[in-house]
A and B are shown apart, each in its own frame.
Chain A
Amino acid sequence: MTVLVSTAFGIALVPLVWLLWTVVGRGIGRLDPYFLLHSMRGVFGGMDAGGIYHAIIGTVWVTVGAAVISVPVGILAAIYLVEYGAGGRLARAVTFFVDVMTGIPSIVAGLFAYALFSLFLGPGAHFGAIGAVALSVLMIPVVVRSTEEMLKLVPNELREAAYALGVPKWLTVIKVVLRTAIAGITTGVMLAVSRVVGETAPLLLTVGVIDSINFNPFEGRMMTLPVYVYRQFTAGLVPCNNPNVTCIPTINYDRAWAAALTLILIVMILNLVARLVSRLFAPKIRS
């Protein structure tokens, strides 16, 4: 039996190792400062050029936008659930629907944001903020859940000690409860960010595609890293018809792999930092 269980484990490791091996092996060659610091403006065909700078900018803007929406809403909602709502009917409904909301398919979130903005701006609006709204639909429930868990870990004695000193409840929540749980909350937020940073489908619908650098999340399309990977994949092999021009047939795939590697690195770093934060700054409240 031990053999069977261990085999299951071994089988599960195969795709992970295989995938990481491929991504690193095929992506590392092109991943250099040039690639990170140049956009795709003016790049076409099999040119040995082009990079992901514009996609990094877009990903940063859209993700930060999503975080700006999700973090306050998520944390406040968690505070409501733990400190105010406890057991009430509304709180039970919120808890239940937060759970349900974690299961919303990402493309549905994209359709929602698309529909929401087409109400105000007419069909076909594409800019960064719409993508941020779509991602926040996916991110809010994750933030709520993790924050809720963390707030529940804060022992009641701390709250009661604060009340006994005459500290009003809102200050207690902010200064005592949140401060105690802040490391855990930070970890939760970072994990939530690492989850949405790789979302592709909703951004494809809402943020669109562009070759140049765009710093303005409220006007014009933006490129994002996951969409970039997808675009380069769909661009496919380049038939090098003209022998006079330097042309790399697999250039699009090369860029896709390198961008995929970048994306995985970003996600991994976010994960690692999140775990470090929770390990280093966690309050020693449970044995």
Chain B
Amino acid sequence: MTTTAADTRAPSPAPSNGPDRPRPPRRRTRAADRGFNRAFRYLATSAGTLILIALAAVAGFLLWQSWPALTSSGSEIASKVSFFQGQSSLASYLGPLIFGTLLAAAVALAVATPLAIGIALFTSHYAPRRLASLLGWVIDLLAAIPSVVYGLWGALVLAPTIQPVWQWVSNVLGWIPLFKGPAADPARVLLTVSLVLAVMILPIITAVSREVFLQTPKLHEEAALALGATRWEMIRTAVLPFGRSGVVSAAMLGLGRALGETMAVVMILSPGLTYSFALLLAGKQQTIAANIALKYPEANSLGMSTLMATGLALFVITMVVNMASRWVVGRRKEFSGAN
């Protein structure tokens, strides 16, 4: 959590360098690149390369394991895998799962992002300094609570407590397809899951947003205040525009985490494989990760392969989301002039 990432990242001569001695050429031109020096360089380089290999291996092994399912016809899988019955093809099985995964994560994001921005602003621009650092610590703590504990709490405490609330929501807002009633009792529904996911991704979105808000150039803020802006106007005109892309990438990081969450979903949701937006009805949606955890114990080898294929899809989705968020961050660096 350092705020210094931006100014130390540039590989060009660090500002503190006195007598000019550009860094990059140094490593090649040094005469002493042999013996231990060379061995150590190779060691470090191979560790770096190992990471690339590991990532490639993850993709490769998933592909290899899911190959039997990818190359079998839908009817062939259906004849051997019990959870596949009634599906015509791998795509028809995967479709609702992807839909459910995205829906759960999107709802969680919709709940978490505004809250996270609020907290981030509170700690960066409203709270007294001491309080702010304490609060930052509390938020970090929230991030450190294991997902299985969230699941336990969600299933045993939150779901029973919140059922009347969902009942009320479906009575009042039932005309919106999202909240179509009657709300399921017990509340093992997607909205409960998304709520728990929102709490889980809140810390990461908050932490990243807060870093960005803190990086707002002081000059901009003071200029706004000097022009007679109130604190909120200052935030609206100086801080938020500056932090927008940072918040977007923070939200995407949170999205990536919500997409892959397993335990909380397994423990809370009554799953089902449909393309339904009804958040308060039971047995309508399921996420990829939860489906794997639920189905793998009874899966035979082709069934395992089918699950691997869904895992591959999840891997690809989270990769895309992550890459997109890095891209947004990268762009911000180029244009912001923050350093």
A173 CB contacts on chain B under 8 angstroms: 40
What does DSSP make chain A's interface, helix, strand, loop or mixed? Answer: helix
- B64: chain A residues at CB < 8 Å are 115
Residue A93 lies at the interface, judged by CB distance under 8 Å to chain B: yes
The reply to whether the CB of A108 lies closer than 8 angstroms to some CB of chain B is: yes
| A229-B148 contact, Cβ under 8 Å, with A84-B41, A103-B319, A156-B14 | yes
Number of interface residues of B (CB under 8 A): 101
A271 touches B263 (CB 8 A): no
Contact A169 B262 (CB under 8 A): no
Residue among A98, A106, A107, A271 making CB contact with B140, cutoff 8 Å: A271
Query: Can you list 15 A-B pairs, Cβ within 8 angstroms, ordered by A?
Result: A5-B118, A77-B51, A94-B52, A103-B321, A104-B318, A106-B262, A107-B314, A111-B65, A115-B61, A115-B62, A153-B8, A157-B16, A194-B144, A226-B263, A271-B144
Across the A-B interface, give the 6 residue pairs with the lowest CB-CB distance, nearest first: A105-B260, A198-B146, A8-B118, A76-B47, A170-B40, A103-B322
Cβ contacts A1-35/B at 8 Å (1 or 0 each): 11011111101110110110011000000000000
Is B149 among interface residues, defined by CB-CB distance under 8 A?
A: yes
Q: Is B119 an interface residue (CB 8 A)?
A: yes
Q: Provide the residues of chain B in CB contact with A101, threshold 8 Å.
A: 51, 54-55
Chain A residue numbers with a CB within 8 Å of B140 are: 271
A65-102 CB mask vs B (1 if < 8 Å, else 0) is 00000001111110111011111001101101111111
Q: Mark B105-119, 1 if CB is under 8 A from A, else 0.
A: 000000000111111
Interface 9-residue window, one of A41-49, A200-208, A241-249: A200-208
Interface size counted on chain A using CB atoms at 8 A: 96
Say what secondary structure dominates the interface of chain B: helix
Q: Is the CB of A201 within 8 A of B318?
A: no
Q: A152 and B146: CB pair below 8 A?
A: no
Asked if B202 CB lies within 8 Å of chain A CBs, one says yes
Cα-based distance from A1 to B32 in the complex (angstroms): 62
Compute how far the CA of A156 lies from the CA of B292 in the bound complex, rounded to whole angstroms: 49
Give B139-166 interface residues, CB cut-off 8 Å to A: 139-142, 144-153, 155-157
Q: In the complex, which residues 156-185 of chain A have their Cβ closer than 8 Å to any Cβ of chain B?
A: 156-157, 160, 168-171, 173-174
Taking a contact as CB atoms under 8 Å apart, the answer to whether B153 and A86 are in contact is no
User: Contact mask A105-119 → B, CB, 8 Å, 1/0?
Assistant: 111110110011011
Verify A156–B23 contact, CB threshold 8 A: yes
Closest chain-B Cβ to A101's Cβ sits at a distance in Å of 6
Give Cα distance in the complex from A133 to B319, angstroms: 20
Are B260's CB and A107's CB within 8 A?
yes
**A239 close to chain B: CB less than 8 A:** no
